[in-house]
A and B are shown apart, each in its own frame.
Chain A
Amino acid sequence: MEIANLPISASQRSKLLSAGYATLSSLSSLSPSHLARDLNIELQEALEILKVVSDAADRSKSTDGHHQALKGVQTAWDMLSEEQMQQHITTGCEDLDHILRGGIHCGEVTEVGGVPGIGKTQLGIQLAVNVQIPVEYGGHGGQAVYIDTEGSFMVERAHQIAEGCINGILDNFTDHDRKILACQEWMQPNSFLSNIFYFRICSYTEQIAVTNYLEKFLKEHKDVKIVVIDSVTFHFRQDFDDLACRTRILSGMSLKLMKLAKTNNLAVVLLNQVTTKYTEGSFHLTLALGDSWSHSCTNRIILYWNANERYAYIDKSPSLPSASAPYSVTSKGIRNSTSHCKRVRMM
């Protein structure tokens, strides 16, 4: 391995090169004081350089195939048991949960896209509420981060959905238990709302900033089980002339989000808009942000109209087969499709 690839600053690199150190092996047996004298730098700085060098040497050695020496790897068998332990956040719609094998996967990035008015924001709010269902009732008792880039988060609607969720839990109990439960503090819609952390993002810089900051934020708020970004697209479709730069920033962001999802075992849900694309002689709807972006999410769900019903389609997933399921948006939130019964009107 060459010096040029080391993560050290340019001035240090040029000092190394001018002193004749071009490869890692030339540095490996060096003592810090020797290096400091050679490069005419402080001992402390020399120590830091050697540390970077030995890290890099370890890494390049381990890629040779000594599998015990690999750090941070798992065998497929270990991963299997981990996958079986995987947690899911219910969407509120049983049919949709069924094709997702339980709901939105924790530890993964899921992208949800669809035409305007199909219910993306509704699903986002629903998930932010559902994640708070206590463990005793089949939920996670977690908290939610809601990153709103479009200003479409309606807190009144979140209140409604929280109410719907509470009533859904209560329905499983007899009248007597219900009365006791209903008095508990967490059973109030307001306590659900107090567990949703809302960020209002007004530019793409802020969007990058919040993605970086989340790492620290999540350390302070260990209970957060879901991060919803509504939508990931908006600012990136507004003020970008340089598409190469956009692609680079987006892919950096998606890598960070994936890492967050893995290390904190939380679900990341990105809402995306649709755009039209010309393929094979006709126009089709497709999710925005381009082809390279479509590689960056682990799961992709597309919401669409099928005749008179809303459907969700699993467009991409490493573990689930493609399938679609109907759902509906009711006053209580996302529920099973209600094509048979008349829809309740909201007041």
Chain B
Amino acid sequence: MSNKLISQMGLPPSLSHVFAARSIITAKDALSLPEFDLMALLDVPLAHARSAVARISEIACPPYQTALSLMEDRAGSGGHLPTMLRGLDDALCGGIPFGALTELVGPPGIGKTQFCLKLSLLATLPACYGGLNGRVIYIDTESKFSSRRMIEIGENSFPQIFRSEGLAPKMAGRIIVMRPTSLSDFTDSLQQMKLSLLQHEVKLLIVDSMAALVSGENERSEGGPGRHPLRSSLSFLKSLAEFSRIPVVVTNQVRSQSKDEAYYHTFQEERKDNCQNSEKFESHLIAALGIQWAHAVTVRLVFEAHSGQKFIKVAKSPMSPAIAFPFIVESSGISLLSDEGIDVTGPEINTIRNQGQNILSQ
């Protein structure tokens, strides 16, 4: 909408010629200027400039919908990719939501990639088995995608399909793996993808992992004038998810928390020292991409390990309270030990723990 041409907005011809002469071509050009500057630049009376701005705004503004019609639209296009983990599906009202960004964050080796592999399988399954019967684009930045492991997961979770019908090649053939080597590479392929998503019936986009693309990038530069390299791909991913109505899943790494990491507002100063210190020792991991990234994801699932078990935690979701499920990784992929979640409260929701994962003791 922001690139709509002013010449086609039905302004009085004299005015629209002046816009063209001053090379104010799109709505974006016109609306970025204050009314007075616009008046001076166009050399027209203020009233004309005002009415032109009002007209341009009206046209550049996307149409509204009532929430009711929005709900009817969404009901038609389906809403969720079931993870086949019953407890998690219940908590998320059916699974990974369409049209939104879902983030998996956790320490290395905990099972994020396993989860992604399972999701890609599920998206390719025929609808009669609860899948989406579509293609999957898997952007593998860490070279961790393993076809063999994926087939193994498939054979063990859906033996009836994979053994008797011999669908394995067909399923695997629907998963397109991309291996960009740099951030610019990645942004390029995203741009190309825009069209192909709809043409090829892509039903799931996975980026594993997002953080690898920007590792070494200091989060603190975010507040400063420096342009954060992720910003553009972030909003692009979101719009991709929304307009193609597909789920987009990205994984995120963890990094150690530095001492001066901010967790408090200035008015909370006094509390900082006395009560939170004990907790700080435990939770020394934080998500690698910074707080701005965390704002942008719609659903955040934290994978963590403590008290000798691994947990999937719904840390941010507009639909669900914070809730954690113990899980194990087995030959059929991730499975929950219990479909009854454990309620999580307070700052624990956002901590990422990685303890008691000693393999020898198990």
Contact = CB atoms under 8 A, between A and B. Distances in A.
B315 interface: yes
The interface residues of chain A, by DSSP majority, are classed as mixed
A256 to B, nearest CB: 10
Contacts of A156: 71, 74, 79, 93, 319
Contacts of A117: 294, 300, 315-317, 322, 349-350
B262 A285 contact: yes
Given A199-B61, A249-B32, A275-B291, A146 B54 contact: no
B320 interface: yes
Contact of B238 (A115, A150, A154, A285): A150
Contact of A276 (B27, B223, B239): B223
14 contacts: A7-B46, A10-B40, A117-B317, A145-B64, A151-B100, A155-B71, A205-B2, A205-B27, A206-B60, A206-B61, A209-B27, A238-B234, A249-B32, A306-B271
B165 interface: no
Interface of A: 7-12, 48, 115-117, 121-122, 145-146, 150-159, 190, 193-206, 208-213, 215-217, 231, 233-235, 237-239, 241, 243, 245, 248-249, 252, 273-279, 282-286, 288, 302, 304-309, 313, 315, 322, 329-331, 342-343, 345-347
B45 A237 contact: no
B67 A155 contact: yes
B90 interface: yes
Interface stretch (B154-162, B174-182, B196-204, B225-233): B225-233
Contacts of B27: 205, 209
Contacts, number: 244
Contacts of A329: 321
B62 A151 contact: no
Interface of B: 1-2, 27-28, 31-32, 34, 36, 39-40, 42-46, 53-54, 56-62, 64-71, 74, 79, 90-91, 93, 97, 99-100, 220, 222-223, 225, 227, 231-232, 234-235, 238-239, 241-242, 260-268, 271, 275, 290-292, 294-298, 300, 315-323, 341, 343, 345-350
A215 to B, nearest CB: 8
B116 to A, nearest CB: 22
B288 to A, nearest CB: 15
A329 to B, nearest CB: 7
Given A151-B99, A205-B60, A209-B31, A284 B275 contact: no
B20 to A, nearest CB: 17
Contacts of A241: 227
A284 B266 contact: yes
Contacts of B60: 205-206, 209
A285 B294 contact: no
A9 B39 contact: yes
Between B27, B261, B321, the greatest number of chain A beta carbons within 10 A of the residue's beta carbon is seen for B321
A197 B57 contact: no
A161 B90 CA distance: 18
Contact of B318 (A157, A208, A235): A157
Contacts of A342: 343
Contact of B1 (A151, A205, A276, A306): A205
A235 B263 CA distance: 24
B225 to A, nearest CB: 7
